[in-house]
Chains A and B, each alone.
Chain A
Amino acid sequence: MVETGTTLVKRGMAEMQKGGVIMDVANVEQAKVAEDAGAVAVMALERVPSDIRAAGGVARMSDPAMVESIMNAVTIPVMAKCRIGHIAEARILEAIGVDYIDESEVLTPADNNYHIDKNDFKIPFVCGCRDLGEALRRVGEGSSMLRTKGEPGTGNIIEAVRHMQKVNEQIRQVTSAKPEHLMAIARDLRAPYELVKQVHDLGKLPVVNFAAGGVSTPADAALMMNLGADGIFVGSEIFKSENPAKFAKAIVTATAHPTDYSLIAEVSKNLGNPMKGIELSTLTDDQKMATRGVE
């Protein structure tokens, strides 16, 4: 019997992306630059996070025609974002056949109480998380891949580091906990007991976890890989830099060889100015994306 849309197939797709870079692209030309640089997938969206910040207003799913034009232009997987809780946007993206849906806080949330029931979709989802509880709630809803939230469009790595460190520290606590303490841990994390038990037994998350939100340089990518990220999402930074093709290649190399520092030094030379970036203390709570949506 042939079965599509199974948990194994959805999570397996994310396993195949490990050690790779997923790049935000806003048009066909950028998608080709990304593919040529060795990206493992592209995220099609009309405005990258830093432009969303600058433009203000409500950020929604991209025009399906724009997403399709990118699907037709490259052979690597194409991802697209829907608003948190926006079931209809997700179904539309499923209907046009994108390879992965990001239920993303970068867009303006549509539901302040419920995320999408992602188990019910044939297409896999990736969701952001800031701690283990949030990670396991998303997996419980059917997310097949996780990423740190970071603080998108700021060019500032501190939040992605915080989220990655937090999740990994909590995994270590769960793994070393006595089995009889897991229920209380699940209560404190506000996470499903079965998934806490799984983390305890596996010693890791049941799905891959990428770094996202603020990765701006090859060194940032290497930092996140060394902190335990399975791979890297790069948003605004590549196509806001002076030489996107060179910059994109450099981030791919740093992600594939995160401890080869002479090589990373080599590819980091003369990349031009990275995006200016935003010091997070200058953002008001309303301007932060990581805290959007539920909880």
Chain B
Amino acid sequence: MLIGVLGLQGAVSEHERMLADCGAKTRRVKTPEDLNGLDGIVVPGGESTAIRKLLVRESMLEPLRDLVAQGLPTFGTCAGMVLLAQPESLAGIHADVERNGFGRQRESFESDLQVTGWETPFHGVFIRAPYLKSVSAPAEALITLDDGRIVAATEKNVLTTAFHPELTGDKRFHQYFIDEFVKATTKTA
């Protein structure tokens, strides 16, 4: 199993470490050629505008959007969620995204999150984080805060979180991505 981590900018090595801890091989994706032969891809946190501009400049935006549309298992955190929710970027999930939705860095926060079906809460680290105002079918909200803001959501082959599982020592989201998205796809293929 080979999982790519989009490596143009942002918290790339943190995702690589988490995926390696889950037993996956990783490849840092910096050129269109690096997209070949992947079983899944992670779009990491970073600055979404900077990552988007680099994707366009390296002629990777369209090939990656096509792969996502064709069913490549994709996990986006923070900036990754923004790019996957923007129709003009990766268009991986039907959702209305609010960039920097919680405010500036001063308002960045940590909070425990309840995930349906998980025994203990997941510790969410939100850094100038986005949120989803709404999702529409076939997208589904996975974690919704008390005030209605959606901070994790899925759609078919796509998993997104507004927070950074890669900054905690908790592997559950990466494991969930591998088990329920990557392995599920590999089996049916």
Closest 9 CB pairs of A and B: A99-B105, A38-B53, A40-B47, A19-B9, A9-B108, A38-B50, A2-B111, A4-B109, A15-B11
Instruction: Assess whether B110 is interfacial by the CB under 8 Å rule.
Output: yes
For window 92-128 of chain B, which residues contact chain A by CB distance below 8 Å?
99-100, 104-112, 125-128
B18: Cβ under 8 A from any A Cβ: no
A295 contacts partner chain B, Cβ-Cβ < 8 Å: no
- Whether B10 pairs with A16 at a CB distance below 8 angstroms is yes
11 of the cross-chain contacts (CB-CB < 8 Å) are A3-B111, A5-B108, A6-B110, A9-B109, A15-B45, A16-B45, A19-B8, A41-B47, A76-B49, A99-B106, A124-B105
Segment of A110-118, A172-180, A252-260 in the binding face: A252-260
How long is the Cα–Cα vector from A253 to B107 in the complex, in angstroms?
31
CB of A1 within 8 Å of the partner chain: yes
- The answer for the CA separation of A20 and B167 in the assembled complex, in Å, is 18
Bound-state Cα–Cα, A287 to B125, Å: 43
Q: Given A13-B128, A16-B127, A18-B11, A3–B46 Cβ distance below 8 Å?
A: no
Contact among B7, B9, B106, B128 for A20, CB-based, below 8 A: B9
Partner of A5, one of B78, B106, B128: B106
Q: Are B164 and A12 in contact (CB under 8 A)?
A: yes
A39 at the interface (CB under 8 A from B): yes
Contact check, A99 vs B12: say whether CB atoms are below 8 A apart. no
Interfacial chain A residues near B57, Cβ < 8 Å: 38, 249, 253
Closest Cβ of chain A to B19, distance in Å, is 16
Instruction: Give the residues in chain A near B128, CB-CB below 8 Å.
Output: 13, 16, 77, 99
**Residues of chain A in range 244-264 having any CB-CB distance to chain B below 8 Å:** 249, 252-253, 256-257, 260
Determine which of B46, B99, B106 lies in contact with A16 in the assembled complex, contact meaning CB atoms within 8 Å.
Answer: B46
- In the complex, are the beta carbons of A8 and B10 less than 8 A apart? no
Residue B84 CB within 8 A of the other chain: no
Contact surface of B with A, Cβ cutoff 8 Å: 7-14, 30, 45-47, 49-50, 53-54, 57, 78-79, 99-100, 104-112, 125-128, 164, 167
A8 touches B125 (CB 8 A): yes
| Contacting residue for A35 out of B9, B10, B49, B125, CB 8 A | B49
B106–A12 contact, CB under 8 A? no
Alpha-carbon distance A3/B45, docked complex (angstroms) = 20
Residues of A98-124 at the interface with B, using a CB-CB cut-off of 8 Å, are 98-100, 122-124
A75-B100, A253-B57 as given contacts; A16 in contact with B109, CB under 8 Å: no
Q: Quick one: CB contact mask for A54-79 with B, threshold 8 Å, 1 for yes?
A: 00000000000000000100011100
Alpha-carbon distance between A13 and B12 when the two chains are bound, in angstroms: 13
Q: Which residue of A lies closest to B49 (CB)?
A: A76
A100 partner residues in chain B, CB cutoff 8 A? 105
Given contacts A15-B10, A20-B10, A252-B54, 18 further A-B contacts (CB under 8 A): A1-B112, A2-B109, A5-B106, A5-B108, A8-B167, A9-B108, A9-B126, A12-B125, A13-B108, A13-B128, A18-B12, A19-B7, A35-B49, A36-B53, A40-B46, A75-B99, A94-B106, A97-B106
